[in-house]
Structure formats: structure tokens, C-alpha cells
Structure 1
Amino acid sequence: MQVQVNTQDGAGGAELVERVEQAVQDALSRFADQLTRVEVHLTDANAGKGGAQDKRCMVEARPVSHKPVAVTHEAATVPQAIRGALAKASRALDTALASRTDHKGNASLRDAELP
């Protein structure tokens, strides 16, 4: 799974990118073999003017042989926005990829090889 982090005007630096990449790996590790790429977009909705919920994180996950799954979360701080978006992405991927596994995590009969 490749992780790509995009920030507004290149803000944040290498440390932020590393922390975001690690958060994505931790939150979506169980989907790693089913995802080709995860893109994270961080923006300041009010462009420095301030506000209660002005940090936005958009996560777009690209599953193999599936349509991309995109979620957005707004919060007061960047870490809160990242955590919220990754939680939403995990739930959305559960729903999108549910047909591949049964409720106990075993392979679906749809994917079983026929004799």
C-alpha cells in the first residue's frame, strides 16, 4: 500500500508527512493487501483566519478492482482531523470490501476456487 500525503502549499514539512504516513499504516493495516494507494489531503478551510472546525482531512483509498473510497473530516486541529478521517475511511472500507469476506473474516465463497 502506497501512501501519498498532500498539504496545502507544502505546509507541514517532512515530520508531518511521516506522522501521517504512520497513522495511515496503523489505521488501515488490515486492508493493506487490498489497497494499492491511499491519498491524504490536508487543508485549512479558512486559510489562516481561524475558526472552530477549520482543519480538513480528506482520505481517498484505492482498493484493487474496486471504486475509490473517499471520506472527509473537519476538526479544530490537524491530528483530530486525521484521526477522524481515518476512522471514517476504515468504516467505509469495511462496507466497500465486505463482499470479499464473511462476518468472521474468512474468505468469501464467491472468491473460492472451484475444483
Structure 2
Amino acid sequence: MIIQINTDKNISGEKRTEDFFTSQIEEALKRFESHITRIEVHLKDENGKKDGFNDISCLIEARLEGRQPIAVTNQAETMDLALTGAIHKIKTAVESILGKLKKH
């Protein structure tokens, strides 16, 4: 499973932050890693450098083997909260898709 993290110009993409986020994603999706080929994360600050309510947006796109990519988005006040919420949503979506495939 390849994980790529992208940030906009208003969010610093420090190596240590990327490593932490990558480890969180790997841990959350570990049991699905044989089905997921790639994860792309897009973090952006919706209103630039100004503080604001839920202005950090995190989009996670998961590419499953032999299926169309699925994407979820989450907004929060911090990068950590935005990513955590998006990870929860993508995990739920992948569980749902793979659960339906097992039933058939």
C-alpha cells in the first residue's frame, strides 16, 4: 500500500508530520492493505493563513484493487483532527465495500 501526502502552500508538509500521518493511516487500514493499492491524502487550509472554524480540509482517496477509487473528506480546526476524521470515514467506507463483496 503506497501512501502519498499532499499539502497546499498554506500547510507545511514537514517530514516528521508526514511520517506521523502515514503511520496513523497504515495502522487504521492495516487489515485492508492486501486490497488497497494506494492512498492519497490532500490537506488544505480553506481560508489561507487566517484562523477559522473548521478551515482545515482533509481528503483521502483510496484505490482498491479492481475497483473505482473511493474518496472521503473531513473538515476540522486542526490537521490532526481533520486527518483523524477522514481516516475514520475511509475505514468505514472500505469496510462497507469489502463487506458487500464478501457477501456475493
- TM tier, smaller: over 0.9
SS at match of 1:33: coil
**1:79 alignment partner in structure 2:** 80
Q: Greater Rg, structure 1 or structure 2?
A: 1
- Which segments of 5 or more consecutive residues in structure 1 lack a partner in the other structure? 103-109, 111-115
Runs of 4+ in 1 over 6 A off after TM superposition: none
- Matched residue, 1:63: 64
Q: Which has the higher contact order (CA 8 A, sep 6+)?
A: 2
Which structure 2 residues correspond to residues 23-62 of structure 1 after superposition, within 5 A?
Answer: 23-62=24-63
**TM-score normalised to structure 1 length:** 0.84
SS at match of 1:98: helix
The CA distance in 1 between the partners of 2:7 and 2:78, in whole Å, is 14
> Cα distance, 1:97 vs. partner?
1.7
TM-score by length of 2: 0.92
What is the CA-CA distance between 1:100 and the residue it aligns to?
2.9
Identity %: 35
Contact 2:62 2:70 in 1 (8 A): yes
Letter in 1 for 2:61: E
Aligned counterparts of 1:91 and 1:19: Cα–Cα separation in 2:
21
* SS, match of residue 101 in structure 1: helix
Unaligned runs of at least 5 residues, structure 2 = none
Matched residue count: 103
